[in-house]
Structure 1
């Protein structure tokens, strides 16, 4: 899908469709294209899908953390004059979504998390000393998915370029450390927002027991599994992901 990105002030984002607002938050190593299947499906089924580029590499280093991204999201939602938002996040995006929902619950109608950090994640950090080794980074990228073929050359090239850019690497490590520090286990029982948890049964980054803990701690949550699936269900099994989510939204009248 060719992305016709909008640029308004400090925000760069993709906007598709008309209807109920659905904001999608990508992960640390993920891009807007990770949600092509979600954007195409929901933008033609009564939702306005917005995917902002997270300011991962443009924030000052001291502000490169989960809370700053949640604050940036609040600015974006105000800029777009949105309310009753459905917030969907993968990996770091799920973590930002959880924190945002804790801080600004009045703006969020429903929360969707998949492979979310916030409780635990096995990061790629141990591999950064070997960042010059393309084959090593390729293996690391493939391990994110159940099917290694999902890690296309384009995806591997992007990860390789990121970890070999010193400035981006420093920011990446800062965010990863912030995510690990910002454990939300004590916050989750206070989040009353209806939450849909969709998880890959073979997720190596945020293993299945993490999904179960999210489900246990979030008071109004439903947990769904996708078989033969790793850390990014919306990429590996977009049709199944969309079917699960759309059914849940309809059952909840969202």
Structure 2
């Protein structure tokens, strides 16, 4: 982690730079450090990058769902006093961004989704029957990426710890069920917010056809592919990811 975590009221978050806020929404097992490259690049190029720690494992089981996380994001935006913001979400974070924008569109200038859930959730919360076997979990973590070497020991250890913590595992499964319940296919055609879709061509968690469906259903979206790339494009190809996003923001005058 290259940036210090700020703690205010009920929120912990990273904040860097000045300008229009880009609020980054991490995934189910995605650490804030997964976005170090995004934070560094955009905080030095006219944006305020803000990454809140989402309360994925901190809410009661009844509130462990996409709807509650979107409400938490709304309250965070109100707390920070932002009049407008860009949301950037990976995996579950993309889903939270989409759901938030459906309910609170007025302050969201643009959406950026990469490997987002919201249409296809079969891979979330599955495959933990052998969770005590470190090598099984290591393989599962490596499969998220096109290049398995991206799954460092630190990443594998974090996933292993999460799935072997009974409370966290129960909540992981609850989130997976919630993601299915909060399918966005009927909502997307009504969402006019400009959306940038950046997707790994080799994503096996949310396959390429998911990106194509997002692009077909959203009224104002553009889809960009990254080759030799899995589920976390901002980690596997950080420079290309940043360039695609920066060019899109410039073109849209955002």
Corresponding residue for 1:236?
236
Aligned pairs (5 A) from 1:13-162: 13-123=13-123, 125-162=125-162
* Aligned residue pairs, count: 254
Question: Who is 2:169 aligned against?
Answer: 169
State the partner residue of 1:195.
195
CA distance in 1, matches of 2:116, 2:14: 22
Structure 1 runs, 4 residues or longer, greater than 2 Å off: none
Q: How much has 1:180 moved relative to structure 2?
A: 1.7
Residue 208 of structure 1 and its aligned partner are, at CA, apart by 0.2
SS in 2 for 1:130: coil
Local SS of the residue matching 1:149: helix
Q: TM-score, normalised by structure 1?
A: 0.99
Shift of the alpha carbon at 1:253? 0.2
Distance 1:125 1:71 in 2: 22
Structure 1: distance between partners of 2:115 and 2:124: 15
Distance in 1 (CA, whole Å) between partners of 2:234 and 2:129 is 30
**Length-normalised TM-score, structure 2:** 0.99
1:124: Cα distance to partner?
5.2
1:129 partner SS:
coil
Gaps of 5+ in 2: none
C-alpha contact (below 8 Å) 1:197/1:222 kept by paired residues: yes
**Alpha-carbon distance in 2 for matches of 1:98, 1:124:** 17
Query: Which residue does the alignment assign to 1:251?
Result: 251
5+ residue gaps in structure 1? none
How far apart in 1 are the matches of 2:75 and 2:201?
35
* In 2: Cα distance, 1:2 partner to 1:84 partner: 26
